[in-house]
């Protein structure tokens, strides 16, 4: 599903963010991406959503090479990828419902369809009764779940999360991860970047470890055995 082939990224000024990163996340697979701050986790996620372009190598999603995606096509790629952020990125002057509906409105869904799908998504994260609230009125965990609802409302095949449990207590973190697991069970490929090692340890999922821009452990015990399979 997500296939990195020798991807390198060098920022202006010569800072190397990623160096020859290769891995393959299969369809319907859930995995963690971990590493210390500045190891390149965010950069890696940005490559998938084309917020950054690789300096070398290529990223493939469902066997489509992202380097061949033009600037005009980027929005359409992003519609296939649900993204969740540590700071939620919710719009404060819009209701929870509107925040989630955003992803559908831009695609030109009808009002009826939007209402139906937003309700389903909010129900899945347990916030249906808060649809008319503004994000400020919600707790941190609830805000994060609104972000998740927005990411999944148009049923994307891929879900990316950058530190989704960053400032939540362990109990809430577990709850959020439970939501991810639910989506994963419906066949969505999930990649979660986190440095919460305790959280990872409790769950038995594949874990990719980055260090100084390189994959030091791709979560499969035989790193070379993964290559060539796609």
**Contacting residues toward other proteins, per CB under 8 A:** 42, 45-46, 49, 51, 61-62, 64, 69, 72-73, 75-80, 83, 85-87, 89-91, 102-104, 106-110, 113, 150, 154-155, 157, 162
Of 63 and 222, the one with the shorter C-beta distance to other proteins is 63
Of 167 and 202, the one with the shorter C-beta distance to other proteins is 167
Of 105 and 220, the one with the shorter C-beta distance to other proteins is 105
By CB atoms closer than 10 A (0-12, 13-18, 19+), residue 22 is middle
Comparing CA positions, the residue from 111, 168, 100, 105 lying closest to residue 134 is 100
Of 72 and 229, the one with the shorter C-beta distance to other proteins is 72
| 215-223, long-range: CB < 8 A, 24+ apart | 215/21, 215/22, 215/23, 218/22, 218/23, 219/31, 219/32
CA atoms in the 13 A half-sphere facing the CB of 207 = 16
| Cα–Cα dist 175/182, whole Å | 11
Closest contact distance (angstroms) between CB of 32 and other proteins is 17
| Cα–Cα dist 193/160, whole Å | 8
Of 55 and 217, the one with the shorter C-beta distance to other proteins is 55
Closest contact distance (angstroms) between CB of 69 and other proteins is 7
Give the end-to-end CA distance of the chain in Å, rounded to a whole number.
Answer: 8
Strands 2-10 and 56-61: antiparallel
Assigned token pair, 179? 């939501």
Closest contact distance (angstroms) between CB of 185 and other proteins is 19
Closest contact distance (angstroms) between CB of 201 and other proteins is 25
Closest contact distance (angstroms) between CB of 79 and other proteins is 4
């Amino acid at each position: 599903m997500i296939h990195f082939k020798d991807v390198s990224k060098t920022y202006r000024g010569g800072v190397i963010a990623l160096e020859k990163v290769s891995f393959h996340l299969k369809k319907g697979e859930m995995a963690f991406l971990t590493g210390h701050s500045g190891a390149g986790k965010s950069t890696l996620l940005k490559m998938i959503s084309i917020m950054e372009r690789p300096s070398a190598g290529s990223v493939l999603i469902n066997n489509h090479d992202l380097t061949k995606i033009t600037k005009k096509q980027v929005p359409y790629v992003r519609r296939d990828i649900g993204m969740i952020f540590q700071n939620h990125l919710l719009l404060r002057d819009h209701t929870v419902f509107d925040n989630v509906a955003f992803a559908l409105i831009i695609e030109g869904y009808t009002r009826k369809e939007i209402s139906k799908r937003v309700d389903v998504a909010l129900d899945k994260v347990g916030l249906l009764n808060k649809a008319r609230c503004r994000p400020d009125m919600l707790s941190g965990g609830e805000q994060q779940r609104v972000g998740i609802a927005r990411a999944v409302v148009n049923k994307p095949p891929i879900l990316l999360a950058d530190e989704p449990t960053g400032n939540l207590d362990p109990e809430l973190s577990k709850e959020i991860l439970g939501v991810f697991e639910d989506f994963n069970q419906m066949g969505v490929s999930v990649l979660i970047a986190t440095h919460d090692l305790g959280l990872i340890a409790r769950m038995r999922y594949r874990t990719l470890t980055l260090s100084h821009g390189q994959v030091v452990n791709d979560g499969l015990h035989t790193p070379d055995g993964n290559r060539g399979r796609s």
